[in-house]
Amino acid sequence: MKKIHLLILKSFIRPFLVTFLIVMFVLLMLFLFKYIDDLIGKGFEWYVILKLLAYQSAVQISMAMPLSMLLSSIMTFGNLGESYELVAIKAAGISLRKAMMPLFILVSLFSGGAFLFSDYILPIVNLKMGALLYDVRIKQADFLIKPGIFNNTIPGYSIRAKGKSRDGKMLYDLMIYDHNTSNTANAVLLAKEGYIYNSPDNNTMILNLRDGVRYEDTRARNARVYNPRQQFTRFYFDETEQKFDMSVFQMKRTDESLFKSHHAMLNLRQLQYYTDSNAVQMDSLRTTVLPEIQSHYYYFSTYYNNADNTGTMKPISYRQQFLEAIPEENRNMAISSAQSQIRYIKDILNVKTNEDAFYRDKDIRYNIEYQRKFTLAVSCLLLFCIGAPLGAIIRKGGLGLPVVMAIIFFLIYHIIATVSEKSAKEGSIDPFWGMWMAIFILSPLAIFLAYKAATDSALFDIEQYRIKAEKAWAWIKLRFSRRSKEAVNPQNS
C-alpha cells in the first residue's frame, strides 16, 4: 500500500513542478508584454527589473496554482491509466479513492498553504508590487540625443546635435535653446562639440562645450514695454560647462503607506476592520440626508398664506389647487422660491448619492477580496478533483490531450469566475455568490467525473460512441424499412 502511495505521489509532484514553472513563465511573459513600453528606454538597473518580476511571480501564484494543479493531475492519472497501472491497482483490491488519499492530503496541504499565502504574504507582495510598478510607470525615459533631432525631455531646454560618437559621449555641432528665462527662445547657444558626463549622484548632467557662442536677446523679457534701445548680446567662448538638472529622470520611490488601504493589500483581519469602518461611514452618511433636506422641504411659508383682507386664515380644501391657495400677486415669487429649493435639494441628493456610491463600491471591493482569500484554496481542491478523475477516464499521458482538456476546463472555470466577479463588482449580484459561482457550478461536474472514474466508465472513449451511433443508425434504418413495407402492402399489415 505504501509503495502505491509513493508511486502516485512521485508521479504527481514532478508534473506539478514542471507545469507550475511553465505556467508561471507564460504569465510573466504576458506581464512583460503588457508593460513593455513602461520598462524600455528608462535605464533601470537590473535589480529593479528582477525585483519587479519576483513580485509579479508571487502575485501570479493565484492563477498559476489552480491551472498547474488541474494540468498535473490530468497528466498524472492519464499516465497511470495509459500504462495500465490504475488497472493493476484496482486488480490488487485497492479502490481509486484509497489510492488517491495521500495525494488528496498533499493537495489539501497545498490548498492550506495557498490560503495562508493569500492572507499573509500576498497583501504585502501586492503592496510592494503596486508601489514599485507605480514608480516604474511614472519615471521618465532616459535622456537620449538622436542626431539631427531636437530633444525636449529636459525641462526648459531644447537640444540638437548633428552628430555624435559611437559611445554617445561626444556631440558635434550643438544647438541649445534656453527657455527658462521667458516663454520665447531668447537665449541660443551654439558649439562645435560637447562632452557629456554625469555628476557623482547622477542628478546633474554636465555638458562640456568647446568653441562656441551664446546669443541673448533681452527684448523678450519686457515684451510689453517698448524700449528703443534693444540689447542683443553675443558671448564667444573656447570652453564652458552647461549643467542640466536630471533629477526628473531618476526613479523616486513612493511611500508605500499611501497604498496600504487598497483592498488588494489587506489581510482578513484588516479587511474586516475596513469593512466595518466603511459600513459606519455609510450609515452616518445615510442618516444625514433627511435632516439636511428637511429644512428645505415644506408646503407653506409665512410669506405665502391663504388669508383674506382682514388677515384671517382660510382653511385650504384638499380639492383646491395648490396655486389657488396662494394670492395671485405672490404666485411668481412662490414658484421661484420653490424651484430654488428643489434645485438645492437635488444638488444635495446628487452629492450624497455620489458619496454613497463611493462607499458602496468600497464595501463591494472589500467583500470580494475577503472571499478571494478562501476561493483560491478551494479552487485548487476543486480543479484537482476535476483533473484526477478526468485523467483516469481519458487514459492519455504526456502533453497532448491532457493539455487540451486542462485548458478547456480551466477556461470554463476562469470565464465563469471572471463574469461572476465582474457582476459582483457592478453590484448586480452579492459578492459572495460572485466569488463562489464558478466553484458551485463546477462542483457537480467534479462529483460526476469522480463517479465515472470509480465505475471505470469510458466517458471519452470515441470508439464506444461510434458503436452506439452505428446501432442507433441501424435501428433507424430498420424502422424506416418496416414503415415503407407497411405503406406498400397495407393489407398485409
pLDDT in tens, 450-490: 888 777 666 655 666 677 777 888 888 777 777 776 666 66
pLDDT in tens, 295-329: 776 554 444 444 455 555 455 444 445 666 667 77
More confidently predicted of 174 and 180: 174
For residues 193 and 491, the model is more confident at: 193
pLDDT band at 71 (very low <50, low <70, confident <90, very high): confident
> What cell was used for 400?
497532448
Residue 365 has pLDDT above 50, yes or no: yes
Q: What pLDDT is recorded for position 226?
A: 57
pLDDT for residue 384 is more than 70: yes
pTM: 0.67
Q: Select the highest-mean-pLDDT range: 54-68, 162-176, 215-229, 252-266.
A: 54-68
pLDDT at 113 over 80: yes
Is the distance from CB of 53 to CB of 136 less than 8 angstroms?
no
Report which of residues 399 and 129 the model is more confident about. 129
Q: What is the mean pLDDT of the chain?
A: 78
pLDDT at 489: 66
Residue range 425-448: mean pLDDT, rounded = 90
Tell which wins on pLDDT, 8 or 224: 8
For the segment 361-375, the average pLDDT, to the nearest whole number, is: 90
Q: H/E/C letters for each residue in the chain? A: CHHHHHHHHHHHHHHHHHHHHHHHHHHHHHHHHHCHHHHCCCCCCHHHHHHHHHHHHHHCHHHHHHHHHHHHHHHHHHHHHHCCHHHHHHHCCCCHHHHHHHHHHHHHHHHHHHHHHHHHHHHHHHHHHHHHHHHHHHCCCCCCCCCCCCECCCCCEEEEEEEECCCCCEEEEEEEEECCCCCCCCEEEEEEEEEEEECCCCCEEEEEEEEEEEEEEHHHCCCCCCCCCCCEEEEEEEEEEEEEECHHHCCCCCCHHHHCCCHHHCCHHHHHHHHHHHHHHHHHHHHCHHHHHHCCCCCCECCECCECCCCCECCCCCCCCCHHHCCHHHHHHHHHHHHHHHHHHHHHHHHHHHHHHHHHHHHHHHHHHHHHHHHHHHHHHHHHHHHHHHHHHHCCCCCCHHHHHHHHHHHHHHHHHHHHHHHHHCCCCCHHHHHHHHHHHHHHHHHHHHHHHHCCCCCCCHHHHHHHHHHHHHHHHHHHHHHHHHHHCCCCC
Residue 176: φ, ψ to 5°: -125, 125
Query: C-alpha cell of 327?
Result: 394670492
CA atoms within 13 A of residue 350's CA, in its CB half-sphere: 6
pLDDT at 16 over 60: yes
pLDDT in tens, 414-423: 899 999 999 9
Measuring CA to CA, which residue among 178, 176, 188, 238 is closest to residue 212?
Answer: 238
Label residue 236 exposed, middle or buried (CB < 10 Å: 0-12, 13-18, 19+). exposed
Residue range 96-107, pLDDT digits in tens? 777 778 888 888
Q: Are 45 and 74 in contact (CB under 8 A)?
A: no
Give burial (CB, 10 Å; 0-12/13-18/19+) of 246.
Answer: buried
Residue 249's pLDDT band (boundaries 50, 70, 90)? low
% of the chain surpassing 90 pLDDT? 4
Give the mean model confidence (pLDDT) for residues 18-43.
82
pLDDT > 50? residue 382: yes
The pLDDT value recorded for residue 83 is 76
pLDDT category, 166, cuts 50, 70, 90?
A: confident
Average pLDDT rounded to a whole number, residues 210-228: 67
Mean per-residue pLDDT, 226-231: 62
Give me the percent of the chain exceeding a pLDDT of 70. 79
Please state, in angstroms and rounded to a whole number, the distance separating the CA atoms of residues 125 and 136. 16
On the question of pLDDT at 73 being above 60, the answer is yes
Return d(Cα 269, Cα 22) in angstroms, integer: 34
Going from the C-alpha of 49 to that of each of 32, 33, 124, 134, 251, the distances in angstroms are 10, 14, 18, 13, 13
pLDDT of residue 219: 59
